[in-house]
Every structure is written in C-alpha cells, then in structure tokens.
Structure 1
Amino acid sequence: MGETADHEIGDTFQFRLTATVAQYADIKNYDSYKLVFHDTLSAGIDYVSEGNLTAEMFVGDNTTAIEVPTTTAKDGQNLTVTIDNLKAHLPAEIQENDAISVVVTYNAKLNAHAVVAESGVSGLYNNNKVYLEYSNNPNGEGTGQTKEDYVYVFTYKLTNTKTDNMGNTLQGAEFVLKKGDRFAAFTNGIFSGWSTAQDDTTKLTSGEDGTFVLTGLDAGTYTLVETKAPEGYKLAADTTITIAASHKEDDGGASATVTLSGENHEGATVVDSKISNLPETGGMGTTLFYAAGGILAAGAVIALAAGKKAKKEED
C-alpha cells in the first residue's frame, strides 16, 4: 500500500512490514538470528483479528515465498511479531551474497475514532508505527533496533448545507449518498457500510443550521440525492461530489499531509426553490384573464357610444 493510503471507515486493508538483511554473510556466523516487529496502531485503526497474519521470506532472486512461523502478542494497540530464529528456515543452497527479505502482512481497518484528514494540514492522523528489533551479537543475546517508521491512512468528511435560493438555510431536507450503484449507510453521521437498495440505507437530514456532516469516506466520486424537500420547496437536482486526494509523508516520516481537490470535495451546498401556488408569469391562465378583460372594456365603450348616438337622434 505504500507509505500513505486512504480508506473509508470499516474498510479492510493490509499492512505490510518488511525487514531486509543485505546479504546472508552478515548473519552467517550467528547460531540463531532473531527478528521482532514492534507495531503500534493509532486509536483510529483496529487489528482485524487473530489468524490473518502471515510471514514470508524471500531469498536472493527467488520469488517463491518461504513461510516462516511467528509468535504474535497483542496488547491494546500494540502488536508484537517474533521470529525466534530466522536461520532455521533458510534454504540449504543459500549463497553468502544473497539478500534476505521477511514480509509480515496482516489485515486492519479504520474505526469510528479515526482522525479525519484536513487538506494541507500536516499531522500524525491514523498511523501504524513500527520498529524492528534484531540480533546484533553473534556471541551472545544482544539486540539492536531500527528507528521508527510510519504508515498513514487517511479518511475524509463532507460538510453539506441545505439552503433556499435566497441563501437561507433549510431544516428537514432528506438525502441519500450514492457511489456507483451502492448507497452509503451512516450511524450518527459516521460511515457504517453499503447497501444496494435506496430504501434500506440511511436518510440524511439537514439540521437547524441547514447542515449535515458525513464522516469516514474514502476518496472517489459520489452522488448526493435529495429524497424529501422541506415543506413548500421543490426537490433539488442530484449533486456530484468528487474527493480527489494527493497524500505523502512529510520529510523524516514522522507526519504526513494530504491535499484535497475535486468538485464539492469539502461538501456541497444544495439549493431548493419554493413551490408557487400561482400560475407562472406568461402562463395561459394570466393571458386569458387579461384578454377577457380587454374584450369587456371594449364592449363597454362601444355600448356607451351607441347609447349617446341614439339619444342625440331622438333629440
């Protein structure tokens, strides 16, 4: 996944931890060679379950993985993965200049405590911090350790606002959020999964200030669909929302930054128009009304003129 990635809350992804021995000659004289991965997940990331972790070794140019047994221990957000003796699993034909890579892979996911990314703001966000402990004394049990390294996972939010065409905020409008042919579900505004049926998904309602906030989304393109307008207003057209993210580690790796872009990437303003009880200007009802009035007025003038003429002839 690289050093940075983005995901929605609840989405399962993999962490991959890699330890490399430059050449077999570096550990040849050890009776045994120990590796311990010390991994700490921030509060917004969960280790999915026991049993999904694998450790594989690759030697030299050989792309065939050698499975390596491990002992794992989990204490809160801390995960320790131990390989007691790497040398016991090396192939017999290994050469002194062969490099050795050990890759530990396991599943994780963002939870409801995940920190939401802010565009252009550097931070620790949701991270996996790891360092490697390794044997460093061929004549004893001493160990050394690498400096800490980080992997970052970003998630995003949308702050949407409902207004009328005069800019006044509207309460009580209802929406659903789509991505492709799936509908997003939310619990207290936090993303909680997908549904294939609109009727089964969460109705998102604008509050007193006209806003509704959707938290825990992945990058991508969404459609915001108004399903119920406030009383006296028309439904708005569907609104496209695109979250485009460019993320990277900062220098030194102890923090990371994401830059967001795209149409309505921070949230959309959805505008409703009022429903009018009168015929529209230029409609047939108004035209006929004035035409009929004109005829009555002309008739009155003709009748009056005729009356005056008749009276004069009588005189």
Structure 2
Amino acid sequence: MKASFKKAIAAAAAAVTALCGMAVGVGAAAADDSTPPHYTEYASTASGKLTVNAPNGTTGHTLTAYLVAAYNKDYAAYTDTDSAVTSGTAKAGNLNIDTFRYVVHDSDETAIENALTTAGVTAEASGSQTAAEEGLKSLTGVSATSPYGYDVNTNTASAQERKFADALAALLNDTDTTKKWTPSISKDLTLGQENTLTPEGLYLVIDTYKQDDDKVANSTQSVPMLVGTTFATLTVTDENDPNKNLGVGTIDMKNTTAPITKQVVGKDGTTPNNHPSYNIGDTVFFQLTTTIPDFTGYASDPTLKSATTRLFNIVDTFQDGSFEAQKVESVTDKTAVDKTTNQPLALNPGTDYDVTGESTNTLTVDLKRLVNGAAGAQTGWKAGDEIVVIVSATLAKGATTTDSPNVDAADKTGADPQGNYNKVELNYSNNPSDNSKMNNVPGPTVNVYSFNLNLNKVGPDGKSPVSGAGFTVKTGETTYKFTKQTDSATGKVTYVVDNVSGTTDQVLSGEDGTISIKGLDAGTYTVEETKVPSGYFSGARPTFTVTIADTSYQNDKTNNAPKGTADGAGDDWLTGLTYTTFTPDFFNLVTQDNADKDGFTVKNVKSVTQLPKTGAAGIAFFSFIGLALIAAAAFFAIRARKAAKIA
C-alpha cells in the first residue's frame, strides 16, 4: 500500500518539483489570444507559488520560467471517506493522484514530444490526454548518486527528467525554425522571493548568467531546471508526517561557486606569517587555496583540444620589479587521500596541471588536465576538494622598502604602497552549455615588507658632511653583503642587501655624508665603522646596534585563508615600525636623529681632544690624557737621568 502511495506522490512531484535537481520558478503568463479548446477545457487558471533560493549567490543571475504544462483545473485532495485513506495508502488532504493530470498547450505540444523522445520516453495519447501529457507523467527522477540528474562530474544525463529538461532547453535556441520552441507562456523570476505564477503547473526555468564588470560575482550558470508550482488548493505532505510539507514550489538553484584565497606563510607552507618582513634576497612563500567547482553537467575533453574542455586555473600576479625567481613549489588535493602514503594527494606537473610564467610577474597554475581527466591525471578527486598551491618568490633588488608604516590608509586591505604586493585570481567554466565562458574571481592581495637604514656621517662640528667613511652591518655572526646602486639622474648611491651575489660588505658615505641601506628584515643589527677617512682620528671608530622592530600589523579579517591556530590569515598591513639603539657606541659619537625613527648621525673627529668630555668617551679622553702625561713624565725622567750621568 505504501508503494502505491509513493508512486502517486512521485507522479505528483513530477508536476511539482524536479526530482533530478533541475529547479526554478515562474510567474504570471501571457497566454495566446486564441487559446486552444483542449487547453481551455482542462487547464487550471488558478495561480501557484514558486520560490527559487540561491544559496550560492544571486549576483549576475537572471531566471526565466517557461510553462511546460498547466495542472488540470479539477484535481482534488483525498477525503476521509476515500478508500485509499480508509485503507491506509493515502492521507486525507493530500493530492488524489487519480484526479491529477497535466495539460499541455497546443503550441507547446511538438517541442515537448520531441524532448520526451530525446529523453527516451515514448507515450501515446489516451482518452482526452495527448501523447505529451501522458509522457510527462512517466518521467522518472534522479537517484541520490546522480546530482542534478547527471552522473557525478559528467554531463551524462542519467535521469529522464534531466534528459528532458536539457533537450527542451536546447529547443529554445534551435537554429532550425521547424524545431525551435516558442513557449506559450514565460515570465522572469525574482530569486529568493515567492513568485506567483499563472497558471499553476510545471515549468522549465532557465538561468542566464553574466558576471558583473567589477568581477565580484563568483558563481556558475545553473543547469536547466524542471519544477512545479504549489497547488492552489492543497499541499503535498510527507506520508508519515502530515505536518511536513514536501517542499513543492520551493527549490535551490543548481549552480556552484569556487573560492580563492591567498596568504603569506612560513617555509612549511602552512603557518600564516603575520609579521611579513624580509631581507631583500629572502625567499617568500605564499599559500593559494581554492576548491574544485562542481562540473556536474559540463562536458569534458581529455585531449584538451576542443571547445568542451573545462577551464580551471589560478593566476598569481606579483608586483612588477619586487619579485624574481617565482615558481610553484607544490600542488596538493588536501581532501583526497593518497592510498599509498595515506597523505593528502600530491598532484603532479605535466599530468595533473601545467605551470606557465615561472620567473615572471604572472604565474599560472592550470588544472584543466585534472578536471578533464587527461591521460595520466589523478582520478580520485571530486567536486569541493580543497586544492592548495604553494608558490615561492625571491624578494628582488627592485622591491619597495620603507622606514615608516602606512598608518593613514582607512582600509588596511589590498596593495599597500609601502609594501610589495602579490595578488591572485581564479578562472573556471561557468556555463554548462559553453565551457569557454568562465568566471574571473579575484582573491586577496597580500603584502610583504623590507626596511631602510640611513646613516649620516659628519665632522667634529656635527654638520659638515664626511665622505669615504666605511661601515659594516652584521646580525649575529653574519656580515651582510651589498650591491651598490647609483641613481643616474641624481648620482645618489644606495646599498641594497645582496647576501648571495653582493660585491662588498662595506658601505661608504657619499659626498653628502649619507649612507642609504635598503632591504633589511626586522631585527637587531651591529653597525661598525671600519674605514676612517684620511685626516680623521682612527682611534675612535664607533660600533653600535640598531633594532628595527615591526611592532604592529593590522590583519585583513576579510581574508578567509586557512588560519590554523593563528589569529588571522597571513594578510597583514604594517602599522607600527620603530628604530632604537640599545647599545650606543663607546665614544658617544652616534646620535639618533628622531626618537624611534630611522636616521642615525655618526660623527668623526680629527683628534682625541675633540671626543666628548662626558660619559665613557670622557673617561677615555682623560685616561688618554693621563696616559700621555705619564708617558711624558717618564720620558723627561729618563732624559734627566741621562743628563745627570753625563754631568
């Protein structure tokens, strides 16, 4: 008895909602002025309701509903006295399937019959019901293993309803005018709201998707959806729970989205770096994360040569001049498991993906081999799998360096002029009827930083510039190397950190007495004067420490990259930077120009008498004088003894 009831509900559901996941709604219709007698006699003129929800967003989507068949005007609900109710095979108030039928408008008859034939449904007219009306009742729905009515990750229609919906949708745009379907009734729908449709009935809903010019949309076009409105005079409820509406007249749009995120990470490729400062020449690691879109309903081409090739690629863009040696370190399907290693599935270049643009500012990771099932590609993936790409790049000599944070920017997101940015975007097919059409989804822009150190060499008066003074810069036991850059227009010399191929470890003051160093990571450095210019006292060469501290960053909380145990993703703007000297030089010849700011003045003296007279330098000065006096006294004592002996 339950089986016959389920059969009745299934038949009703074919009129009410698409079992294969092809859903959408419709609205009020504009019927032909010359409505055929058959349609007039049997079709309902009442209105039904249809709500199309869009869990993956409404931006860019326009839905139009086309009437396939009206419900009949005299359908009825079971009553308490009906035998099906008294026998327990039906519930009072539910649709009496024996009173229900579809009514097809004469102008839609041929197109519906052709689509039914394509779907493998053959039916004959019976009594007052046409072949198209009989065929619609026999459509079968989708199983749990065939989403949207397709085999998983294919465009192979496995349900008759899916085949019918696709075939009927194709007839809307058929170039053969003898086959083209011109629906009798159509109406645009409002997503996420209840639409009133007249007549109540079964509709084909078509989604037209266009990405906005500002590239903020991230969605695919829905597959064609076959769905019924609510019934005007009754509801269809669960056989075991009369209070549970089976959802007739409500459906989720069958589209999908794919996110793209990016963050700065440590060498492990996982841990967010929330203090992203580096030496020029350091390797910076970035983590890119996306998910495989649901390509169910999309054709594929393992040869990657035809228009049916699915598109799925990530484009990573680096700030011009700031990076070099860009490359892909790894690509991993973090959701799938390698059966051999029991670890996340590592994807392989040349078989699962291709990389173009290494060592350039535009690096592309193309995953079409994977999602099209190319020869040798992994087969264990599925829609929704998390794809993680680790990219590395070297901070180049042309990188932007700073000695002050950008505290004035209202929104600490996007590219920071004080830093060096790296941004990402995702491209993937978004139209199941045309794989060449694709979404361009912008992802986060992240920044990394490097810092300046400026010295000013002056004479005893504290003003006159001293040229030719040499210094080394060390951190721990490592002495930094530099490449000398000269501005062709101004002649200004800058020393850029280059610990790999730098030609000097000594920086020299220019004619104006200044030394400009760029490309330092946050940290503590020992600065030592190693060359005293001719004419200056070499016995007082200062050594002092400078600590560059990136004291604060503001995290971009809009970045949804995986955070792990970190407070935020590796996407941070520099908001605090200080320069301090914890160990001043022994001779008190070094002063900081402004507290906590970059800029240190180093004085040279021409004689010991010009050393400061206070502090350690003063002690040194008087010690020197004392030693000199003792030496002089000893000298004269010796001379006196010699003179006495001669006498």
TM-score, length-normalised on structure 1? 0.73
Alignment of 1:220-259 (within 5 A): 220-230=523-533, 231-233=535-537, 234-245=539-550, 246-248=552-554, 256-259=573-576
1:59 aligns with 2:335: yes
Q: 2:391 aligns to what? A: 106
Change over 3 Å in CA distance of 1:113–1:216 after alignment to 2: same
* Aligned partners of 1:236 and 1:271 also within 8 Å: no
CA distance in 1, matches of 2:279, 2:362: 22
Rg larger in structure: 2
Which secondary structure state, in structure 1, belongs to the residue aligned with residue 481 of structure 2? Answer: strand
Q: 1:311 aligns to what? A: none
Q: 2:455 aligns to what? A: 160
Q: 2:520 aligns to what? A: 217
Amino acid at match of 1:40: T
CA deviation after TM superposition for structure 1 residue 103, in Å: 1.0
Alignment of 1:1-315 (within 5 A): 1=265, 2=272, 5-20=276-291, 26-31=294-299, 34-48=311-325, 52-59=328-335, 64-68=343-347, 69-74=352-357, 76-84=360-368, 86-87=370-371, 88=373, 89=378, 91=380, 99-121=384-406, 123-124=416-417, 125-141=419-435, 142-164=437-459, 166-168=461-463, 169-188=465-484, 189-193=495-499, 201-230=504-533, 231-233=535-537, 234-245=539-550, 246-248=552-554, 256-263=573-580, 266-276=598-608, 285=629
CA distance in 2, matches of 1:287, 1:104: 73
Amino acid at match of 1:221: T
CA deviation after TM superposition for structure 1 residue 179, in Å: 1.0
* Aligned partners of 1:6 and 1:218 also within 8 Å: yes
Which secondary structure state, in structure 1, belongs to the residue aligned with residue 462 of structure 2? Answer: coil
List runs of 5+ in structure 2 lacking aligned partners: 1-264, 266-271, 301-309, 410-415, 485-494, 560-570, 582-596, 611-620, 637-647
CA distance in 2, matches of 1:34, 1:284: 84
Deviation string, structure 1 residues 123-149 (Cα, Å, up to 9, x no partner): 343111111112333454132232242
Q: 2:150 aligns to what? A: none
CA deviation after TM superposition for structure 1 residue 17, in Å: 1.1
Q: 2:586 aligns to what? A: none
* Segment of structure 1 superposing worse, 221-230 or 61-70: 61-70
Change over 3 Å in CA distance of 1:85–1:285 after alignment to 2: closer
CA deviation after TM superposition for structure 1 residue 243, in Å: 1.1
CA deviation after TM superposition for structure 1 residue 220, in Å: 1.1
Change over 3 Å in CA distance of 1:119–1:20 after alignment to 2: farther
Aligned length: 278
Deviation string, structure 1 residues 218-252 (Cα, Å, up to 9, x no partner): 11111001112232323333110111113346687
CA deviation after TM superposition for structure 1 residue 215, in Å: 1.0
Deviation string, structure 1 residues 166-214 (Cα, Å, up to 9, x no partner): 413322221111111111111111111169xxxx842211222221111
* Aligned partners of 2:290 and 2:387 also within 8 Å: yes
Amino acid at match of 1:163: V
Change over 3 Å in CA distance of 1:244–1:194 after alignment to 2: farther
Amino acid at match of 1:101: E
Change over 3 Å in CA distance of 1:269–1:251 after alignment to 2: farther
Change over 3 Å in CA distance of 1:82–1:206 after alignment to 2: same
* Aligned partners of 2:353 and 2:369 also within 8 Å: no
List runs of 5+ in structure 1 lacking aligned partners: 293-315
Q: Name the % identity.
A: 28
* Aligned partners of 1:186 and 1:192 also within 8 Å: yes
* Segment of structure 1 superposing worse, 230-239 or 214-223: 230-239
Deviation string, structure 1 residues 240-265 (Cα, Å, up to 9, x no partner): 01111133466878994442114156
* Aligned partners of 2:336 and 2:344 also within 8 Å: no
CA distance in 1, matches of 2:430, 2:336: 22
Which secondary structure state, in structure 1, belongs to the residue aligned with residue 343 of structure 2? Answer: coil
Q: 2:146 aligns to what? A: none
Write 1 or 2 for the structure with the bigger share of strand. 1
CA deviation after TM superposition for structure 1 residue 54, in Å: 2.1
Which secondary structure state, in structure 2, belongs to the residue aligned with residue 193 of structure 1? Answer: coil
Deviation string, structure 1 residues 17-72 (Cα, Å, up to 9, x no partner): 11135xx8x4555555642111211123334166x542111117998221222112
* Aligned partners of 1:224 and 1:240 also within 8 Å: yes
* Aligned partners of 2:337 and 2:344 also within 8 Å: no
Amino acid at match of 1:65: P
* Aligned partners of 2:446 and 2:572 also within 8 Å: no
CA distance in 2, matches of 1:286, 1:165: 27
Amino acid at match of 2:389: V
* Aligned partners of 2:324 and 2:395 also within 8 Å: no
Of structures 1 and 2, the one scoring higher in RCO (CA 8 A, sep 6+) is 1
Amino acid at match of 1:269: T
Amino acid at match of 1:224: V
CA distance in 2, matches of 1:140, 1:255: 39
Change over 3 Å in CA distance of 1:105–1:276 after alignment to 2: closer
CA deviation after TM superposition for structure 1 residue 277, in Å: 7.6
CA distance in 2, matches of 1:133, 1:174: 53
* Aligned partners of 1:227 and 1:235 also within 8 Å: no
Q: 2:104 aligns to what? A: none
Which secondary structure state, in structure 2, belongs to the residue aligned with residue 146 of structure 1? Answer: strand
